[in-house]
Structure 1
C-alpha cells in the first residue's frame, strides 16, 4: 500500500514553459516540465475540433533530442517561435538524462516493480526505458487510450515516447487517413503480437522501412485491458534487429513485456485517482465509504463497518455530496466511479 506522502508526490512536477496555439479548428498546447532529479519532458497535446486529443511526451535529454522532435513535427512551421522559446528555456535549465535507476544485476521482476514507485511521468519514462533495456529492448512507445463507447471511437490518447524523438511524428505523417494499424489491431486483442502477425503492418512495406529507420526493425505490441474500463494501455517495443531473429528475441520476453504494460497502466490509473482525490479533497474514510456503497452496502452496513451510528454515516454522506457537488449519495458514487476515484 502506498503512503499518503507518496500519493501526494505522484504526478507532481513544475511547468516551466507553456504555449497555447490555435490552428484553424485545432489547438496545440506545448508544455515543458521539470521533474524530480532534473528530468525535463516536453508534452505536445493536439486538441481537435471534434473533441478528441492526442498528447506526445518526450524526455529532453539534450538539445539535439528537442530539435529532432521539433523538426519532424507536422506543424513545425507554425510552431517555430514556440520551439525556439523552448530551446532557450532548455539551455537555461541544463537538461540531464539521469543514470539508469536499474542495476544491471537486479532481478528483472524487482526492476518491473519499480514502475509503481515512480513519483512523476518523467521518472516513469526513464524507469520504463531502463527496465526494457534490461531485456535488450532499445525502443518503445506507450499509449494510454481512452475509448468513447458512444461512438465506438477513441476520445483521448497519451503517448510516452521512449525511442527516437521524431518517430511518432513520422508515423503520424505516414498513416493513411489517420489510421493507426498497430492500435487498430491490438485494441481488440489482449494477447501480444509481433509485426509479421499483423496483416496491415506486414503488407505496408513503406511503414516497415520507416519503422526500421527509427529503431523498430522488429516490433511487438501488447495491450493492457482492465475489466470494465474505457481506459486501456498499448506498449509497442522494438529492436534494430530485423525479423525473424528480431521478432523471436522480442517474443521470448512477451510475458515480461505484458507485465510491464500492465504496471504502466496501473500507474496511470493510480495517478488519475490521486489527482482527482486531491481536487475533491476526499479523505481516505470518505473514499472507503464510497467503495462500500458502490459494492452494494447500505448506511447501516457502513455504520457497522466503522463502528459508528447511522446518524454519523449520514453526516459523512452530506460531506461527500458537498465535495463532489451533488445532492444525493447515489450520484456521488456514480461521479466518483466516473472520475476513477474508486476502483
Structure 2
C-alpha cells in the first residue's frame, strides 16, 4: 500500500527526495522572478532610471540589484537581454477636457428676434405703450390710440357754469400704468372705464375763446381758433398761436410805428402765427404740409354709443396722422388738443 507523500508512513526514499536541496534550488531557478516584470523597462544595474517627456504612471520601478535573490541569479547563466522601453501613454489626453464654442450673445439675439412676436401674445394690460401712435379716436372722456384699441392715451374733463353750460375743457396725457388699468374689453367700451381726473397733470385748458398750456413742455402763450365758409359753401378752420411780445420789443415797435406806417392792428398781427389750417377734414401746417385727416365714427361700438347718447356727434370721430406729422411728443399733444378744441367749440362733447 502506497502512502501519501507527506504521510509519516511514506518510505524514507521519497521523503529524502522531497528534502533534497539541489532539487529545491533548481526549482527556484526555473521559476520566474515576479519582480522581473517590473524591471524590464529600467536600465541595468548601475544606471539611473530614465523617464519620458510625457506624463507617466506614478508607479515606481526598481533595479534588480536592490533586491536579494532567492536563488541563483538567472542573469549569471546567460547574457543580459536588451532592455526594451515600454510605450508610456500620458494620463491626460487632448480629449479629456473637451472645449465648447459658446457664444454669450446668441441668447440676446434670439430674444431680440422674439420681441415683436412676444408683444402680440400679451394681454392688453401688459402690452407695451405705443409712443408713436398715429390714429386717435375720441370716445369721451378718453381718447384712444387706434380705431379698435381699448387702451386710452388722453383724458378730458369738462366744467360747467351755473346755468349748466360747458365753460371749460381740460385735457391731460395718461401715464403708462393708467393706460393699462383703463383698458376694457371691446364689449364694454361703450360704457367706458371710470377714472378720476388729475388736474395737476392737465396739459391744456380750453375756454370758448382760447386755449392755454399748463405745463413747461406745452406751447407758451394762447391758441385761438377762427372759422368761416367759402363762396361754394365749404367750411374752413384756422388755428393760431398768439404770443404777447415782451415789454422792450413793444416799446421799440411803438417808436417805429410812424416810420413804418404801422397801425395798431398790424402790431397785433405780428404776434399771431398760423399753426394749422383745416378744410374738408384735412389738416395742414403753416407750410401747407398735410399732417392729419379727420374721419367719421368707426365700428359697431361707435354706433352703439350713438344710440345710447343721441346728439353727441363728436364721439367716435377719428384723427389719422400722416407720415409728415410731428414725431415729438409735445407737438403731437398740441395737435390732439387742437383737434379736441375744434370739435368742442363746433359740436360740443358730452358724456355721462
Q: Which structure has more RCO (C-alpha within 8 Å, separation ≥ 6)?
A: 1
What's the TM-score once normalised by structure 1's chain length? 0.26
Query: Which has the larger helix fraction?
Result: 1
The structure with the larger Rg is 2
